[in-house]
Amino acid sequence: MVLVSVSTATNRTIVLLTDAWWWLIVLSSRIRGLLSSGHRFGGVRGCALRPLYPVNRNRNDHARS
């Protein structure tokens, strides 16, 4: 019984770690794309910070309701 619980716990931690790596890769690539596109449009800080805080989505939701 102890071995089964330990193996399930390790499996969960492995899954969590792989998910964390996945998200890190996705976010890093997205931030790189935003920074590279920000240079073209002028505001590197604005383009990089906008998607992290979904301000536009909240405004649209409030406008709809």
Q: DSSP letters of 11-58?
A: HHHHHHHHHHHHHHHHHHHHHHHHHHHHHHHS-HHHHHHTTTTTHHHH
CB 30 within 8 A of CB 51: yes
Q: What is the pLDDT of residue 31?
A: 82
* 42 secondary structure, DSSP code: S
Q: What is the pLDDT of residue 9?
A: 85
Q: What is the pLDDT of residue 55?
A: 52
For residue range 18-44, what is the model confidence (pLDDT) as tens digits?
888 888 998 988 888 877 765 554 454
Tell me the CB-side half-sphere exposure of residue 8, using CA atoms within 13 A.
4
Does the reported pTM lie above 0.85?
Answer: no
